[in-house]
Chain A
Amino acid sequence: MTATVDASAATDSTGRNRKANLIAFAVMALLVAIAPFVAYPFFVMQALCFALFACAFNLLIGYVNLLSLGHAMFLGLASYVCAHAAKVWGLEPVSAILVGTVASAALGLIVGALAIRSSGIYFAMITVAFSQMVYFFCVEAPFTHGEDGIQGVPQGLALGLFSLSNPWILYVFVAIVFLFGFLAIQRIVNSPFGEILKAIRENEPRVISLGYRATLYKLAAFTLSAAFAGLAGATKAIVAQNASLTDVAFAMSGEVVLMTLVGGMGTFYGPVVGAVIVVSMQNYLAQFGEWVTVIQGVVFVACVLAFRRGIVGELAARAKVTL
């Protein structure tokens, strides 16, 4: 369901693509660098966490054509585990984030092993059901503190050296995590492994007939996507100094779909653009209360009906490059 330029694009366009991607990355890095001077840094950091979350989600929908409607479970679980590790176990933030990420990757492996046997809408429904199960677990498990969530998570000294309670150091830290995640996902998609994933997206029976075990590739992609979603959630817990049910609730799973859809599924930069738009929309329209949900729904419907490529997908198609 992706709207990317055909995978078998002519080889002379590779140079163009490389150039376009370099420019796009430079623009993004520049924007990340100047953003805290023009916008409220806390808001930018949250947007970066959501952007990474959307990139992780896009790894599945954009390159394997698997629509997960329960990705909040990975964001939320990692957020809780990281908050718990930092607050109760007293781990320094980098280790706490790693523990949270590993927890989500493990959850991804289990859910993926069960869900990956089906595809399409069936897969989507299964992920909805599992994320609901994780939600109920988080409501009832003692360590998550139910409706209260985990509050007052210490930001601590990253690697024992950098005090994250300094807002500038925290910003640099979050920017590094985001750029690392972004580049890692790009590297995965452009690797031989990623080529097989895209081949599965285009024609799964054929990939199987060529001797690849498509199920294992899909499971690996699902687990990686869960891990990066977890990285985003765990980082968010350190930034916001809390973990709450919002991050694991169904609405969050819907929001990440919206971000990716608006920005452009199957593009590297689309989820980032979409995340910034959706997060800004929530921020600036917060005074309108539930209208935000209505507006999100309308944007959803409009994108699906008339704008399936998304913003970046549309730009890339006009410029005849893959972004």
Chain B
Amino acid sequence: MTLFGHAISMPALYGQLLIGLINGSFYALLSLGLAVIFGMLQIVNFAHGAFYMMGAFAAYFLLTLTGLDYWFALILSPLIIGAIGAVVERLFLKRLAGFDPLYSLLLTFGLALVFQGLFQNYFGASGMPYSIPKQLAGAWNLGFMFLPVYRGWVIVASVVVCLGTWLVIEKTKLGAYLRAATENPTMVRAFGVNVPRMVTLTYGFGVALAAFAGVLAAPIAQVRPGMGADIIAVVFAVVVIGGMGSILGSIVTGFVLGVVEGLTKVFYPEASNTVVFVIMAIVLLVRPAGLFGRA
């Protein structure tokens, strides 16, 4: 099979589809975290990539310093990094509540520089290896391709966490409080709900989602200080394409764009790095508020 002058082999196609789904898993988790934070705080968390990187490093430290393995890290790393996020919200972001949201953006941008610089200082540009847990080693033979078990696990874990978050926000009482506080925080406070605490916890939760993605990524990509900075621009494009307001939109767009990127690697590899941005430009022309966003 040939297209645009490239010979396309089916195994390569399936392989890139799989890589696309995996990248999509990370895009979805990260853009979901950004959407959750944006919904409640009306800010763009520029430090999101840095928290993703710190999540991976937390897994690495848990293993090397305390011997706690991948499964502990999957729970503990989001808790630790999420707690750091909550502290950041309380110490810094809270003070900027009354100001133009651009200041909060600049603040998180500065924090991202601090975190990334610190890790680069101690670890350089090189990566730390983190091995795949033994329960998830090996590969399944699907007949048409081999699926490494760990990669299948990443996709499943991401889908479960994303849908779980969506269900909590859309279908539970806690989610109803959250949505209400987004619409009218003063009124919700008048009903006796501690909105400032909710804001802190929401920021912590969004950050924890990034850290969770970081732990998932640790065995696939190496644990590197630059891993967050590399992915964040694409995630921003994903958020712009999906539309800022929508939780489900950010999840769907994340997965779809991951797959589109994977397919581009097969059909037109030169454009694989830029395809997401090109799609963003087209979406901006047609629907400036994003595919799922409200104008």
User: A: which residues have CB within 8 A of B?
Assistant: 1, 65, 67, 69, 114-115, 117-118, 120-122, 124-126, 128-133, 136-137, 139-140, 250, 254, 257, 261, 289-301, 303-305, 308
Given contacts A115-B284, A117-B288, A122-B244, contact A301 B274 (CB under 8 A): no
Closest to B115 in A: A297
CB–CB A136/B273 < 8 A: yes
Given contacts A129-B280, A136-B273, contact A301 B110 (CB under 8 A): yes
CB–CB B285/A308 < 8 A: no
Closest to A255 in B: B113
Given contacts A124-B44, A126-B280, A140-B270, contact A308 B109 (CB under 8 A): no
In the complex, chain A residues whose CB is within 8 Å of the CB of B274: 133, 136-137
In the complex, chain A residues whose CB is within 8 Å of the CB of B102: 1, 65, 67, 120-121, 124
Name 11 A/B residue pairs within 8 A (Cβ), A-sorted: A121-B101, A125-B236, A125-B239, A128-B233, A136-B273, A136-B274, A290-B120, A292-B117, A297-B111, A300-B113, A301-B114
B260 interface hit (Cβ, 8 Å): no
A124, A129, A140: which has the most chain B beta carbons within 10 Å? A129
In the complex, chain B residues whose CB is within 8 Å of the CB of A308: 99, 103
| Alpha-carbon separation in the docked complex, A297 to B273 (Å) | 28
- Taking A129-B237, A254-B109, A305-B96 as given, write out 17 further A-B residue pairs in contact, using a Cβ cutoff of 8 Å, ordered by the A residue number: A67-B105, A114-B281, A118-B288, A125-B240, A126-B284, A128-B236, A132-B234, A136-B274, A290-B120, A294-B113, A296-B113, A297-B111, A298-B114, A301-B111, A305-B92, A305-B95, A308-B99
CB–CB A121/B44 < 8 A: yes
| Alpha-carbon separation in the docked complex, A130 to B111 (Å) | 23
CB–CB A293/B240 < 8 A: no
Interface size in chain B (residues, C-beta < 8 A): 44
CB–CB A294/B117 < 8 A: yes
B81 interface hit (Cβ, 8 Å): no
Given contacts A1-B100, A294-B121, A301-B107, contact A129 B273 (CB under 8 A): no
Chain A binding surface, main DSSP class: helix
Given contacts A115-B284, A291-B117, A305-B95, contact A122 B240 (CB under 8 A): yes
User: B: which residues have CB within 8 A of A?
Assistant: 43-44, 92, 95-96, 99-103, 105-107, 109-118, 120-121, 229, 233-234, 236-237, 239-240, 244, 270, 273-274, 276-278, 280-281, 284-285, 288
In the complex, chain A residues whose CB is within 8 Å of the CB of B111: 297, 301
CB–CB B109/A291 < 8 A: no
Closest to B284 in A: A114
Closest to A111 in B: B281
CB–CB A129/B114 < 8 A: no
Minimum C-beta distance from B220 to chain A (A)? 22
| Alpha-carbon separation in the docked complex, A129 to B240 (Å) | 9
| Alpha-carbon separation in the docked complex, A261 to B103 (Å) | 10
CB–CB B107/A300 < 8 A: yes
Given contacts A129-B236, A132-B234, A293-B113, contact A300 B106 (CB under 8 A): yes
| Alpha-carbon separation in the docked complex, A291 to B113 (Å) | 10
CB–CB A289/B121 < 8 A: yes
In the complex, chain A residues whose CB is within 8 Å of the CB of B110: 296-301, 303-304
Closest to B116 in A: A293
In the complex, chain A residues whose CB is within 8 Å of the CB of B114: 293-294, 297-298, 301
In the complex, chain A residues whose CB is within 8 Å of the CB of B112: 297
Closest to B238 in A: A129
Among B92, B117, B233, B236, contact of A290 (Cβ-Cβ < 8 Å): B117
| Alpha-carbon separation in the docked complex, A25 to B286 (Å) | 46
Among A118, A290, A296, A304, contact of B103 (Cβ-Cβ < 8 Å): A304
| Alpha-carbon separation in the docked complex, A175 to B222 (Å) | 47
In the complex, chain B residues whose CB is within 8 Å of the CB of A65: 100, 102
Minimum C-beta distance from A248 to chain B (A)? 13
Given contacts A114-B284, A117-B288, contact A126 B240 (CB under 8 A): yes
CB–CB A261/B120 < 8 A: no
| Alpha-carbon separation in the docked complex, A291 to B121 (Å) | 7
Closest to B236 in A: A125
In the complex, chain A residues whose CB is within 8 Å of the CB of B105: 67, 121, 124
In the complex, chain A residues whose CB is within 8 Å of the CB of B118: 290, 294
Minimum C-beta distance from B232 to chain A (A)? 8
In the complex, chain A residues whose CB is within 8 Å of the CB of B229: 250
CB–CB B284/A117 < 8 A: yes
In the complex, chain A residues whose CB is within 8 Å of the CB of B277: 129-130, 132-133, 136
| Alpha-carbon separation in the docked complex, A15 to B100 (Å) | 31
| Alpha-carbon separation in the docked complex, A132 to B113 (Å) | 17
CB–CB A254/B113 < 8 A: yes
Minimum C-beta distance from B256 to chain A (A)? 16
| Alpha-carbon separation in the docked complex, A250 to B240 (Å) | 18
Among B43, B117, B234, contact of A121 (Cβ-Cβ < 8 Å): B43
Minimum C-beta distance from B279 to chain A (A)? 10
Minimum C-beta distance from B35 to chain A (A)? 12
